[in-house]
Structure 1
Amino acid sequence: MKKMFEVSMNGELSYFLGLQVQQSDRGMFVSQTKYTKELVKKFGLDGKSHAKTPASISMKLLVNLTGNSVDQTLYRSMIGNLLYLTTSRPDISFSVGVCDSFQVNSKESHLTAVKRVIHYVNGTVNYGIWYFRSTNLNLEGYSDADWAGCADDRKSASGGCFYVGTNLMASLSKK
């Protein structure tokens, strides 16, 4: 490959497209700590209380035709930033996906849910994904669905994840 293309070696990979990469004998840890801190600061939610979970289990987000509308640009900006963060944070994928579905007509309740996700990531800025060195190359997949769990349209939400050995390779969450 070096014969066909000009290649330069700048040392061990440590930062790439907003992803921080830490390599060790055990494997590789990928996180977005710097990006997360900037995201929280950008929306003025630094120094606020942290949430223990990305979403409330007692409150379901619904289409709200009568509530107070919020600034669509702000809401979409928050969602876009959080969607990029899901690259190394599968723990927020479902919550961000649910909030994402309300971009067309977002209300105060939806904005509150997005802010809760940001409060959660503010308290978990050092989270990321470990890719361990392993000789185990078994492919495993898991999935689940809530079967018509959306009260608005009776559609199901499903999710899944795929592992090679103990390493998460892909995850999905879809309505």
Structure 2
Amino acid sequence: MLSYYLSIEVTQGKEALTLRQSAYTSKLLERSGMAKYKPCVTPMEEWLKLTKASTTTKVDATLYRSIVGGLRYLVHTRPDIAFVVGYVIRFMEDHWATVKRLLCYVKGTVDQVIILPKTSKSGLQLTMFSDADMAGDIDERRSTFGLLVFLGLAPISWLSLK
């Protein structure tokens, strides 16, 4: 029985399949030096607008890219951080404070899982979500659009086991 695949912990039950990345998340927090920081309740400050013309002190580009790449992989089981990860990927190493806040949020939500039901009486369902940010890029006044599509037997559940 499958229980661990590519850093994704899999639990198979009668009704559903549960996916989580708790161990991977803990290793990422250790590697970033954020394991002892206090968790926060949101992944990003509200209305935060990042720019390429940052005045913050630059951090090690290799560390920044490594941690952001690790967060990008974590999105597979953590759709709640997808927006912030996509946002900080646009920048090289200018916004470490934003990445650190995201890591604090991840620390406080390590036990969250995705539950994929095995059966459904309703047949296939198409579920779509979309969002847009018109001219939200401060530097080039470009717009951002995102679309998330699920095709499955039942809607995906998102749970915290705390």
- TM (norm. structure 1) is 0.81
Give the corresponding residue for 2:4: 15
Secondary structure of 1:149's match? coil
Shift of 1:65: 5.1
Paired letter, 2:149: F
Change (3 A) 1:63 1:39: same
Paired letter, 1:129: I
* Larger-Rg structure: 1
- Pair 1:52 & 2:45 matched: no
Shift of 1:63: 1.2
Q: Gaps spanning 5+ residues in structure 1: where?
A: 1-11, 169-175
Change (3 A) 1:59 1:139: closer
Give the corresponding residue for 1:98: 87
| Bigger relative contact order (CA 8 A; separation at least 6) | 2
Moved over 4 A (4+): none
Distance 2:149 2:55 in 1: 40
Q: Gaps spanning 5+ residues in structure 2: where?
A: 158-162
Distance 2:38 2:24 in 1: 19
CA RMSD between the two structures: 1.6
Give the corresponding residue for 2:143: 156
Superposition pairs of residues 31-70 of structure 1, within 5 angstroms:
31-64=20-53, 66-70=55-59
Residues 37-94 of structure 1: per-residue CA shift (max 9 Å, x gap) = 1111111111211011111114321112544222111111111111111111111111
Give the corresponding residue for 1:140: 127
Distance 1:91 1:142 in 2: 13
Give the corresponding residue for 2:160: none
Aligned length: 153
- TM (norm. structure 2) is 0.87
Paired letter, 1:74: L
| Amino-acid identity (%) | 38
Distance 2:5 2:55 in 1: 44
Give the corresponding residue for 1:84: 73
Q: Name which of 108, 116, 139 aligns with 2:101.
A: 116
Change (3 A) 1:66 1:121: closer
